[in-house]
Structure 1
Amino acid sequence: MEDDSENSSLIEEDYYTFLNVPRNATNEEISNAYRRLSRLYHPDKHLDPVQKKEAEILFNKTKKAYEVLSDGHLRAIYDSLGTRGLQTEGWEIVQRTKTPQEIREEYERLAREREERKLQQRTNPRGSVTVNINATDLFDRYDDLDFDKEVPSFFPIVEVSGMSFSQSIEAPLTLRDTVTMSGNLSTHNGTGSGTVNVSVRHLVSDKVWIEGDCGVGNGPVFSFKGFRSFTKRTFGNLTASLHCTPMGIQANLVSMLATQLDTHTTGYLTYRVGGHTAMSTTIVRDTPKSHTSFAIQFGIPHSYLTFSYVRKFEEEKLKLRGTVKAGTFGAVVEYGAEKKVSQHSSLAASVVLGVPSGVTLKLKLVRANQVYLFPIHLSEEVIPSPVFYATVTPLIAWAVIKKLVVDPIAHTEKEREKEKQRQLNKKKMEENKREAKAAVDLMRATFTRVRSEEEAKKGLVIVKALYGRLINQAESRTDEESDSADEVIDVTIPLQCLVKDSKLVLQEASKSQLPGFYDPCVGEDKSLLVQYLFHSNLHEVTTEDSESLRIPKQSHRVNTT
Structure 2
Amino acid sequence: MAAEEQEGFVFGGSPWKDVEGPSLYSSLNVPSYASGEDVRSAYRRMCITFHPDKHNNAPDKEQARVLFENIKQAYDVLSNPEKRFVYDTHGWRGLRAEKSVGQSGSTPCCTALEVEELRSRFNRQLCEERNRIQCSPSCNVAMAVNAKPLLLQSSDKRKGSPPYFTIQKLAMSQAFKFGLTARDTLRCQVALQTTKTGKTFGSVVGTYRHVFKSGSCVQGSVGLGSMHHAELEYHMLLPGDFHFSVHGTLRHVYGDFNRMAFSIIPTASATIGRRIGPCSVQMRYSSEDPLTDKPECLTTTISCNSTAASFELRSGGPPVLKLLHPIQLAPSAVLEPKASLSAESVRLSYALRYGLNDHTDISLGVYVKLPGAVGCFLAVSYQNQDFEVPIELADSLSPTALFYAHFLPLVTAGIMRYCVVKPLTYLVSREQRAEDRQRQQTATSVKRNEAAMFVRLMGATYDNSVASEQARGGLIVQDAWYGVLVSHRLPGSSTVRDADIEVADVQVATQCLVKDSKLIINSESKSSLPGFYDPAPGLRKSLRVRYEFRSRVHEVTVADNEPLQAPRQSHLVR
TM-score range, shorter chain: 0.5 to 0.7
Which of 246, 270, 277 matches 2:281? 270
Q: Output the CA distance in 1 between the equivalents of 2:413 and 2:458.
A: 55
Change (3 A) 1:178 1:80: farther
Of residues 177-186 and 132-141 in structure 1, the stretch that sits farther from structure 2 once superposed is 177-186
Which of 291, 298, 322 matches 2:336? 322
Provide Cα deviations, 1:243-277, integer angstroms capped at 9, x if missing partner.
Answer: 34566523141535142xxxxxxx22232413471
| Equivalence for 2:431 | 416
Provide Cα deviations, 1:304-362, integer angstroms capped at 9, x if missing partner.
Answer: 24132142644xxx223221314233131212132324x54343333333333433332
| Equivalence for 2:230 | 220
Contact 1:34/1:62 (8 A) holds in 2: no
Contact 1:128/1:371 (8 A) holds in 2: yes
State percent identity of aligned pairs: 16
Which of 129, 137, 144 matches 1:132? 144
**1:306 matches 2:323:** yes
1:106-117 superposed matches below 5 A:
106=117, 109=120
**1:105 matches 2:116:** yes
1:87-98 superposed matches below 5 A:
94-95=103-104
Change (3 A) 1:386 1:29: farther
Which of 387, 392, 407 matches 1:372? 387
Q: Output the CA distance in 2 between the equivalents of 1:541 and 1:521.
A: 16
Of residues 387-396 and 157-166 in structure 1, the stretch that sits farther from structure 2 once superposed is 387-396
Cα deviation for residue 482 of structure 1 reads 4.8
Q: Output the CA distance in 1 between the equivalents of 2:238 and 2:530.
A: 53
| Equivalence for 1:42 | 50
| Equivalence for 1:181 | 188
Cα deviation for residue 163 of structure 1 reads 1.9
Contact 2:236/2:243 (8 A) holds in 1: yes
Which of 210, 225, 231 matches 1:201? 210
Q: Output the CA distance in 1 between the equivalents of 2:239 and 2:376.
A: 40
Tell me which amino acid in the other structure corresponds to 1:334: Y
Bigger Rg over Cα: 2
| Equivalence for 2:293 | none
Runs (5+) with no aligned partner, structure 1: 1-9, 260-266, 286-291
Change (3 A) 1:373 1:324: closer
Q: Output the CA distance in 2 between the equivalents of 1:495 and 1:378.
A: 73
Contact 2:279/2:305 (8 A) holds in 1: yes
Q: Output the CA distance in 1 between the equivalents of 2:228 and 2:418.
A: 47
Tell me which amino acid in the other structure corresponds to 1:134: N
Change (3 A) 1:26 1:521: closer
| Equivalence for 1:288 | none
Q: Output the CA distance in 2 between the equivalents of 1:475 and 1:196.
A: 70
Contact 1:43/1:53 (8 A) holds in 2: no
Which of 276, 284, 288 matches 2:306? 284
**1:354 matches 2:369:** yes
Cα deviation for residue 366 of structure 1 reads 2.5
Change (3 A) 1:169 1:410: closer
When the two structures are aligned, how many residues end up with a matched partner? Answer: 491
| Equivalence for 2:166 | 159
**1:241 matches 2:231:** no
Contact 2:379/2:389 (8 A) holds in 1: yes
Which of 204, 210, 217 matches 1:210? 217
Provide Cα deviations, 1:386-437, integer angstroms capped at 9, x if missing partner.
Answer: 4333434444454455445444433333332232134345543311112134
| Equivalence for 2:177 | 170
Of residues 39-48 and 407-416 in structure 1, the stretch that sits farther from structure 2 once superposed is 39-48
**1:384 matches 2:395:** no
Provide Cα deviations, 1:15-47, integer angstroms capped at 9, x if missing partner.
Answer: 3524349xxx99998997587356325325844
SS state at 2:446 partner: helix
1:491-502 superposed matches below 5 A:
497=513
Cα deviation for residue 542 of structure 1 reads 4.8
Of residues 381-390 and 120-129 in structure 1, the stretch that sits farther from structure 2 once superposed is 120-129
- TM-score by structure 1 length? 0.68
Q: Output the CA distance in 2 between the equivalents of 1:224 and 1:477.
A: 80
Q: Output the CA distance in 1 between the equivalents of 2:521 and 2:377.
A: 59
| Equivalence for 1:5 | none
Q: Output the CA distance in 2 between the equivalents of 1:35 and 1:409.
A: 56
Q: Output the CA distance in 2 between the equivalents of 1:236 and 1:38.
A: 70
**1:363 matches 2:378:** yes
- TM-score by structure 2 length? 0.67
Tell me which amino acid in the other structure corresponds to 1:345: T
Provide Cα deviations, 1:149-195, integer angstroms capped at 9, x if missing partner.
Answer: xx646222222211222333222222343333334433333453646
Contact 1:199/1:213 (8 A) holds in 2: yes
Q: Output the CA distance in 1 between the equivalents of 2:33 and 2:480.
A: 33
Contact 2:139/2:384 (8 A) holds in 1: yes
Runs (5+) with no aligned partner, structure 2: 1-10, 252-263, 287-297, 547-552
| Equivalence for 1:3 | none
Change (3 A) 1:512 1:224: farther
Of residues 384-393 and 297-306 in structure 1, the stretch that sits farther from structure 2 once superposed is 384-393
Change (3 A) 1:339 1:383: farther
